[in-house]
Structure 1
Amino acid sequence: MFCRSDSAHSLPEPIKGGSLKPLWDITQLEEKWRLLVTTWLVECLRPDTPYPVLEILGEQGSGKSFLQTLLRRLIDPNAADLRSVPKSAEDAFISGGANHVISIENVSYLTPQLQDALCVIATGGGFAKRKLYSDADETVINLKRPVMLNGIVASVTQQDLVSRAVTIELPVLKEAQSKGKLEDWFEGDRASIIGALLDIAAKALSYLPEMTLHAHERPRLVEFAYLGMAVAKAMDKEPCTFTDQFQEARQDGLERTLDASPIATAIRDWAEIHPDETRDEPAKRWLEILADYKPPGCDSWPRSGKGMGDQMRRAAPALRQLGIECKCLGKVSGNVKWQIGHADQRKSWIESPESPEVLSGKRSKQDFRTCRTLIEGKSLDVDAFEEF
């Protein structure tokens, strides 16, 4: 139940009533990212929900590795707080089996296989391989872990991982200080910072049952969104403050997904030129239509209808957020057809009727859709309203 690897370090005894201010002063993290980072730290303390992937971007000298190191020391301090990119999915699972937080630095590129593995690790899953010196036995690693990574360029490009990622971008530090001095300052305040984090977590968990979102506002990481709203309230902020910042952070990932996919870019360009058109065509025909919108110098353009359908399926969630519907209609007349067009922007509310006559039957109560205040031709007085 309690595991401790050889590289794990100890946490200090938390001090109740501390403050997160020393953490922000040391890292110089911008105000717009603090609520997101705090929520991610609180989420790392919960074992029963999926974990978002925290991606930290910035130029040289932006302090991204230093920030990532301090964040890990608040949750899962280790002899090697930052690790290089795993060479395979197996290495990523082994690292997660020995650590609570998978912390990767200086990421320039993540293979599609590794991005898929990080999705499984963040939401919970297993990895199995044949046990050494056996023919029929296997070793299974089953885990769910928080993941954070940093890099100069955006490396999270697969739609599945983008939808699970929270991206923050750091500016270049204006006032650089000695790293040793900052680490000493942090170690002196680490116990009070952890205490403040636990105080916020306790309040947030008490507020959590009150948090709700409309169905169309719920993101992929809905548990994280509810927690963020509760954390905002625990920090004396409006819950909508978190949803606004979360949406802004996710918008960057959306644009990155579209830019990384030549098919998504081509579909977006086609939809802009044909704003009022919706077409149902086989994937092979779409391959011919979208060839005119192919980005120059593209090497990853599909060569078959199946490849086209696979890329359209991957790009569909990101396109849908832009109001472009790209969906498979199934097999029609021997061909698998795809529909592309602007999504139906029908209003979710019930529009008011043009005239009271369209209301069927006699209504004894006030009609809140039309603000009718008449009962059988008479004005609705206060006594009558209270009666209802």
Structure 2
Amino acid sequence: MADDEKNPAREIIADYAQTHFRYFRTAEGTVYAQRNGHPVARPIRSQGTTGSHRQELMVGMYRDGIGVFNGSALKEALDLIEALALSEDVQPVHIRVAPGFDGATWLDLGRDDGQSVRIHPTGWDILAPDPHEVCWRRTQLTGELPLPAKDTDGKGIDLLLRLCNFANAETECLAIAWLIGCLGPSVPVPAPFLTGPQGAGKSTGGRMLVRIVEGMSGDLRRAPKDEENLIAAVAAGWVTALDNLSHVTPDLSDAMCCIVTGAESVKRALFTDGDVFRVGYRRPLLLTGIDVGVIRPDLAERLLPLRLERPRVRRTEAELWAEYAEVLPVVLGSLLDLTVKVRAAEAETPTDLRMADFAHLCAQFDVATGLGALPAYRASLDDLNDDVIEGDLLAQTVLKHADTIAPGAAQRMTSTEWLHCLSRLYSGDDCRPLPKGWPTTGKVLSDRLKRLQPTLAARGVLVDTGRTSEGRYLEMTRLATSSPHEQKRML
């Protein structure tokens, strides 16, 4: 009797699997399989349509003449392999962008041969990463990128800007800085919000920016109706692009804040009573729309408005995208060249901005190129503060009351007293009714003012809370110096 006939099928499968594949687990406990010498890893329990480990195991054994085995034998073998892998070293898996050794970062080109871009302090190279350094995870959202061109002399950036309809040079600087930020796995970047009149090519411009990182299959999508589907889409790709937003609900606003700066979702694992499944995510986000109405202050600090204008000459979709696909290797090569140059630049980190990592990137960008990305970023945040104030009657009333406070002075009252004061100021002598959404209690007012603190501070009004023996209080201080908004008006 042959040796194979003496061994159970599960042992034959397990022996073949451990010979041809490397198995490891992530910090969340998910076990992945990686073909020897190949950087792409697949979860062994995946049944996805992008190619599961079960499928590649079956195909490999069939092509190598081992045989074809039934589902029970495969399940028993994978159960054993999964149990053995839980004692192996922990290693993370990455989608599209990953940190490497010696200060390098990697960009997955989505190719079957595993070729990727290694961006290091002195340049960038195209090669397959060591599986112990980088493990790529791929999904249906992982598109293929072309091999970037070498020695482009920066002409790819000009080609990209010629295809997009950005309104001015400041907007172009911020768009390029955002793309460089997308190539950094540890840099949270604000979400570009492409705005402009109808017909300005916002959706087309958004696709062009996304496809530089996600490949020609990258596209925009409508905002999901629930947070669970949004998180699933975000976790399966790198850049998430939401198209044609006309209204941002409070729940969607909170979800987008979490996407930009990072959060974790915990759900009950399927077919278990007490086990959980963790999904951590922090991804670049891109939005398009003409006007989304009222923007909440916490989201405004995480946005990057990019204004577009209507093109003077219209082109067909086929002509436009044919040219884009042709120049994409040059665009990607020029972006990688600029990324190396920007990362090598030394600049101080601005300490007054919420997205400090991106502000530091803008400062490095300015040192490397001589352009003005950081001033443009500050100006965009100032404009967003104007939008927040214009859409919030409470903020307008607070600023109106602050004008009655002497510069450098402070005024302290309980939250209930502040509510009566601001309500009387809004109603005026004609006793006009309070608007819908106006705070109804001191507690609600206190919570609203806490959310508005950064916006009001940018206009020279500080709101603070505290407690004395008599109870809690709210204190409003008008800065002695003029606010950034007043300084801008004086220039």
TM-score range, shorter chain: 0.7 to 0.9
* 2:421 alignment partner in structure 1: 289
Q: Distance in 2 between matches of 1:275 and 1:12?
A: 61
Q: 2:223 aligns with which of 77, 85, 103?
A: 85
Taking a change above 3 Å as real, the CA distance of residues 312 and 44 of structure 1, as seen in their structure-2 partners, is same
Q: 2:463 aligns with which of 317, 322, 326?
A: 326
* 1:279 alignment partner in structure 2: 411
Moved more, 48-57 or 143-152: 48-57
SS of structure 2 residue aligned to 1:290? helix
- Mapping of 1:1-388 within 5 angstroms? 1-18=135-152, 19=155, 20-29=157-166, 30-77=168-215, 79=217, 81-154=219-292, 157-207=295-345, 210-213=346-349, 215=351, 218-235=352-369, 237-238=370-371, 241-276=372-407, 278-294=410-426, 298-328=435-465, 330-345=466-481
Q: Distance in 2 between matches of 1:242 and 1:196?
A: 18
Taking structure 2 as the reference length, what is the TM-score of the superposition? Answer: 0.65
Contact 2:210-2:218 within 8 A present in 1 as well = no
Which amino acid letter does the alignment assign opposite residue 253 of structure 2? Q
Taking structure 1 as the reference length, what is the TM-score of the superposition? Answer: 0.82
* 1:95-150 C-alpha deviation (Å, 9 max, x unpaired): 11111011000111122222222222211220112233433222211111000101
Q: Distance in 2 between matches of 1:143 and 1:78?
A: 23
Contact 1:107-1:155 within 8 A present in 2 as well = no
Contact 1:156-1:162 within 8 A present in 2 as well = no
Q: Distance in 2 between matches of 1:83 and 1:275?
A: 50
Taking a change above 3 Å as real, the CA distance of residues 79 and 334 of structure 1, as seen in their structure-2 partners, is farther
Contact 1:284-1:305 within 8 A present in 2 as well = yes
TM-superposed deviation, 1:51 = 2.1
Q: Distance in 1 between matches of 2:294 and 2:210?
A: 20
* 1:332-373 C-alpha deviation (Å, 9 max, x unpaired): 244321111312439xxxxxxxxxxxxxxxxxxxxxxxxxxx
TM-superposed deviation, 1:156 = 7.1
TM-superposed deviation, 1:175 = 2.2
Contact 1:56-1:151 within 8 A present in 2 as well = yes
Moved more, 85-94 or 197-206: 85-94
Contact 2:207-2:219 within 8 A present in 1 as well = yes
* 1:351 alignment partner in structure 2: none
Contact 2:173-2:373 within 8 A present in 1 as well = yes
Q: Distance in 1 between matches of 2:284 and 2:294?
A: 15
TM-superposed deviation, 1:203 = 0.6
TM-superposed deviation, 1:2 = 0.6
Q: Distance in 1 between matches of 2:242 and 2:337?
A: 28
SS of structure 1 residue aligned to 2:136? coil
SS of structure 2 residue aligned to 1:294? helix
Contact 1:52-1:221 within 8 A present in 2 as well = yes
Q: Point out where structure 1 has 5 or more consecutive residues left out of the alignment.
A: 347-388
* 1:141-175 C-alpha deviation (Å, 9 max, x unpaired): 11110001011103571222211211122222222
SS of structure 1 residue aligned to 2:450? helix
Taking a change above 3 Å as real, the CA distance of residues 147 and 156 of structure 1, as seen in their structure-2 partners, is farther
Moved more, 155-164 or 109-118: 155-164
Q: Distance in 2 between matches of 1:145 and 1:78?
A: 19
Moved more, 153-162 or 99-108: 153-162
Structure ranking higher on relative contact order (CA contacts 8 Å, 6+ apart): 1
* 1:198-253 C-alpha deviation (Å, 9 max, x unpaired): 0000011111xx201564xx311121111112223333x15xx2221111111121
* 1:361 alignment partner in structure 2: none
Q: Distance in 2 between matches of 1:98 and 1:213?
A: 32
TM-superposed deviation, 1:180 = 1.8
Taking a change above 3 Å as real, the CA distance of residues 135 and 334 of structure 1, as seen in their structure-2 partners, is farther
